[in-house]
Amino acid sequence: LKAKVSSTLNRRTALRGANYVFCVVRTGGLEAFTHDIDIPLKYGIDQCVGDTLCAGGIMYGQRGIAVLLDICKDIREVAAPNCLLLNYANPMAMMTWAASVYGGVRCVGLCHGVQGGIHEIARAIGASAKDLDVICVGINHQTWFTEVKHNGVDVPMDRILAGFENHPEAARDEKVRIDMMRRFGYFSTESNGHLSEYLPWYRKRPAEIKKWIDTSTNAWIHGETGGYLRYVTEGRHWFEEEFGEGRLPATLEFTAENRSPEHGSYILEAMETGRVYRGFFNLVNRNTISNLPADAIIEAPGFVDRFGFNMPQFGDLPLGCAAVCNASISVQRMGAHAAATGDINLLRQAMLMDPLVSAVCNPPEVWQLVDEMLVAQAEWLPQYSEAIKGAKARLAKGPLIKTKAGYKGAARKKIRTTAEIRAQEKGNPRGGH
């Protein structure tokens, strides 16, 4: 298909007549992200990523949904009828939930966690990823590989587990995921660092956190405290220095071999040409997974063609896997509805029910945490303008619960300079950013 690339700073101009809209917003940038990590740390909540659940992920959703609903309004008013919003922004489930329920637009959420998991399983069992066919279902960042075939032959789950346990890098980097597979029977997305903060068991005691993570490399994703914040901060420093001095990366060539494994372009191809594409999509459940709530945003395999998305009925998730997902779904539901309505009580309840927050904090601490995060992030939370006035008054009046101000977490690493990144990552002086 022929394409023309143009740019504009006017959102409505960009959206006018659009059939497809990609959303990759990160509201508040590094400043808000720092609040997402550092304020919960004062209360003992030690996060690696903070983009899906836990205190940071919930607040990330409050900011993002405020912007997303404005985008949806513009789509309804100026985009083509039946325009499809392809959401790549985290927290995936909350953002897609809000767009689907409150945004009034067609929306699909897209992630690469399943593709990454396929490559990890292939590495663990000594196979090529292209020879694997999988069924992977659940919710975003907590999808479960319930069936794996290698060249059409079933791969037993105990073989996959043994492969991870005996692979030197996987055994070092993926301790939480391996432990979850031992206890629940199935390998799951997302990375060790992500998964560890969605659950109540692995990051609640500072003295135990290092047992479950690896900090021997510069890879943030294995679970270090504030790991993703460090990574993107280093990326910002690199960008400002390299681009500021005119050192631009090589231009990407748009050729077939450079095509990304991300689902987005294949969805557009399927809808425009009718060529069927099988992928993994985040959509309203209805009855795709029968023992997860019908209103939840689930992630499951499906097909897309010129008629849209077709999701086969999977049936029941294994009960233990469903229980893990259901705990997160309750938080996602409350978080999405709170963000869309500015309901501080629903926001507090979402925080209180979050698996890791509830493992670390008591209810009064959660109430104070919410007040503190609302006040710190007020400029990005217009829907909470009245609630923030009350939060400011409560914090000013006191008495306040004592917190660990300045606490850096159980496994925090220093932010590297651009020179240090170049020295340590000679094969990629941009440090992967």
Q: Which residue, 242, 24, 184, is CA-closest to 112?
A: 24
Q: Which residue, 180, 232, 207, 253, is CA-closest to 48?
A: 232
Beta bridge partners of 145: 136
Q: Is 345 annotated as a binding residue?
A: no
* Long-range contact set of residues 206-213: C-beta below 8 Å, sequence gap at least 24: 206/44, 206/46, 206/409, 206/410, 207/410, 209/46, 209/410, 209/411, 210/410, 210/411, 211/175, 212/175, 212/176, 212/179, 213/48, 213/175, 213/176, 213/411
Task: Single out the catalytic residue among 43, 186, 198, 384.
Answer: 198
Asked if omega into 91 is within 30° of 0 (cis), the reply is: yes
Q: Check if the beta carbon of residue 353 is closer than 8 Å to that of residue 334.
A: yes
Report how far residue 361's alpha carbon sits from residue 352's, in angstroms, rounded to the nearest whole number: 8
Beta bridge partners of 132: 150
As given in the structure block, the two tokens for residue 132 are 């694997």
As given in the structure block, the two tokens for residue 136 are 């992977």
Q: Which residue has the tokens 């919960």?
A: 40
Report how far residue 221's alpha carbon sits from residue 175's, in angstroms, rounded to the nearest whole number: 12
Report how far residue 48's alpha carbon sits from residue 2's, in angstroms, rounded to the nearest whole number: 42
Residue 399: DSSP 8-state: P
Q: Is 107 annotated as a binding residue?
A: no
Q: Which residue, 216, 217, 192, 215, is CA-closest to 203?
A: 192
Q: Is 54 annotated as a binding residue?
A: no
Q: Is 112 a catalytic residue?
A: yes
Q: Is 198 a catalytic residue?
A: yes
Dihedral sign from CA coordinates of 102, 108, 113, 114: positive
Q: Which residues contact 46 (CB under 8 A, 6 or more apart)?
A: 203, 206, 209, 225, 409, 410, 411
Task: Single out the catalytic residue among 88, 102, 112, 407.
Answer: 112
3-state secondary structure 306-336: CCEEECCCCECCCHHHHHHHHHHHHHHHHHH
**C-alpha angle with apex 301: 295 to 303, nearest 5 degrees?**
100
Report how far residue 63's alpha carbon sits from residue 51's, in angstroms, rounded to the nearest whole number: 12
Detail the residues annotated as belonging to a binding site for Mn(2+).
111, 141
Active site residue ranges = 112, 198
Binding residues: 90, 111, 141
